[in-house]
Amino acid sequence: MRVMRYEELFRLEGRVAVIVGAGSGIGAASAKGLAAFGAHAVCADINLDGARATVAEIAAGGQAGEAVHVDLTDPASVTGLIEGVRSRHPSLDVLVTTPSINIRKPLVRYTDEEFDRIVGVNLKGTFRLLRGAGTVMAQQGRGSIIVISSIRAQSVEPGQGIYAATKAAQVQMARALAAEVGPQGVRVNVIAPGVVDTPLVNPIKMHPEWYQAYAARSILNRWGMADELAGPVVFLASDASSFVTGAVLFVDGGWTAVDGRFTPPL
């Protein structure tokens, strides 16, 4: 008979977690959260100084981490990240992928170059990571992959057409991978954040009315903070979610539950 030790469900000791985009925002919060629960955090980012700063914070808390450079637009760089982890560590247990870019403009004004740039990072870069980590985890017979998508995978607005398309594609790609590697003991899930205060949204913060309008769209009447994504990431990385795969977890303050809401005079 299996004995469940509930107090250990979220513990990650002995596990190696690769967090891509760990130099700032949700990636940095994810890395610190995973490390706090015992994982060895491999903090990867195109901004190596940012990744090193995250590792310094992790080390200050007495946890283990390392910083590495990765460029998702370079296949060799992604391959080097995965192979490097395999060479230095006994396993690759968790992958969290967060990087995305956005260009806000009407669809008819996009250039081919802008389209390729967004798809190259958000979709093709994510694909390269899923392919590499999925292969390793399937071979070792265990692992958890977590893709940070967006509410824009479900709910779009003017100026977000290409970004939203890549976010919806991330969801379907993750679901397909979940079905393909699930029999080998690998879980693949998606987190869809709402509006979260990260460097990606700096253009919105420059417009107070726009910023407040987004806050009002959530049930909680505020923006999310990057640290509020650490809990969902730890949950999906740990044994607490051992029967969760192919799922999309919305962490959006209720935005998608009441999208387009109007509060009537009740």
Positions marked active-site: 163
How many Cα atoms occupy the beta-carbon half-sphere of 251 within 13 Å?
Answer: 23
Report whether 85 contacts 42 (CB < 8 A): yes
242/144 Cα distance (integer angstroms): 9
Give one DSSP letter per residue of 148-199, joined into a string: E--GGGT---TT-HHHHHHHHHHHHHHHHHHHHHGGGTEEEEEEEE-SEESG
At 102, which helix (H) or strand (E)? none
What is the distance between the alpha carbons of residues 261 and 14, in angstroms, rounded to a whole number?
45
How far apart are the C-alpha atoms of 44 and 48, rounded to whole Å? 7
CA distance 31 to 18: 8
Contact 246, 175 (CB under 8 A): yes
Q: What are phi and psi of 132, to 5 degrees?
A: -65, -50
